[in-house]
Amino acid sequence: MSARPPPKSCDTFVVLGNLTKGGHVVFGKNSDRPNGEVQEVVYQAPATHSPGTKLKCTYIEIDQAEATHAVILSKPAWMWGAEMGANERGVCVGNEAVFTKLQSDDDKTERLLGMDLVRLALERSSTAEMAVGVIGSLLEQHGQGGPCSDIEPDLLYHNSFLIADPTEAWVLETAGQHWAAEQIKSGYRNISNTLTIGTKIDRMSEGVQEAAKEAGLWDGSSEFSFSAVFSSGDSTGGRQECGEQLLHKLSEGGDFSLTQMFEVLRDAESGICRGMDHHHPTAGSMVSVLSKEGSGRPSCHWFTGTPDPLRSVFKPFIFTDNVKISPHIQSPKIPADQDPAKVVPRFASKVNRTHLLYRRQQAAVQGGGGNAATLREVESKCVQETEACLENFDMGRLSEMDDLFKDCVDSELKFYK
């Protein structure tokens, strides 16, 4: 497989409860994708499935779980999987492209995408540690591979994941079908497009060390470091370090907050935030506040659904029994026999996947409208009102949050008119 520079894309962050306002875990991610790719926000209700049911992921079919959790996802519109999301149990997952010494032309073979693994983990896990097991077992069983873009069909990569719940976080990194995971119980952590797990490995795939020896990547006697053994040496242009410095600075007071995670995701100087003039712009962003046990308040998840967080509005979503999701932030459904992502040869043609909010926001930005300062005021008011409501929340009135996300999308649309 010919060497190619990695996309300078994606950053995922988490700050644990010992450093946050209220003791809640704060998770955030910027999803940076090929320019022109549309990201949508979708809700999937909980479901039960008959034994033997099959599930069609982006490329391959696998066994369906007997029960799946409700999930909220920010996903490239062309694929089944998701870049990031959360489930009703307070689990969040985001993934990153990583480049390893095990990459080869075999990565072109269509298997599970890293984004499929994000969604599968959310649908099947009630804790972050359980999500580690789900991703690890599916990776070992099915492998990862296939084009990761419908705009750049030669975009192939392995994956790393940052997984969080209200009590802890895990980093899981892969090289082919091999993986290692590290548990984080306090402080903060961020991942970008490079392997970060060294010798502190809390869980790993069976046979990973033997495979490293057989490949001539480890001598078998020195201390085993997953990143040292498998990393291809590609850097992230300093974004990993810049992100870590931002988290350190903003969490020093021990009261890191939702809006400070917005600030991290909007940091353009570091390259964490990128506009539509970049070949891999920030296509969508997410921040979650995962409420600690006994707090009496639901977790709240904030999504943009549009490119460039500096030009976008974060909108709140809370899981309820009858939650509504706006159709205006979802891409049109393309019949399978007309969808270039689902027929062979792949991506032979293009279709329009833009949703209404995407079109209105982009038109406003290109026309010089969509004033960022005014948008920020609208968002700030929404944050204040939502936080005030959650501060003294009555879980018996959870149904009042059914239309929260939908109403915020509708309000943003009116702003662009």
159/230 Cα distance (integer angstroms): 12
251/350 Cα distance (integer angstroms): 44
Task: State both tokens at 46.
Answer: 């909980």
**For residue 7, what are the contacts with CB-CB under 8 A and spacing of at least 6?**
32, 34, 97, 155, 157, 193, 280
Residue 233, sorted as left (phi over 0), alpha (psi -120 to 50) or beta, turns out to be: left
Kindly give the pairing relationship between strand 61-63 and strand 67-68.
Answer: unpaired
Q: State the chain's maximal CA–CA distance in angstroms.
A: 65
238/387 Cα distance (integer angstroms): 34
Q: Is 242 annotated as catalytic?
A: no
377/6 Cα distance (integer angstroms): 36
- CA 77 from centroid of its chain's CA atoms: 14
What residues are annotated to the active site? 10
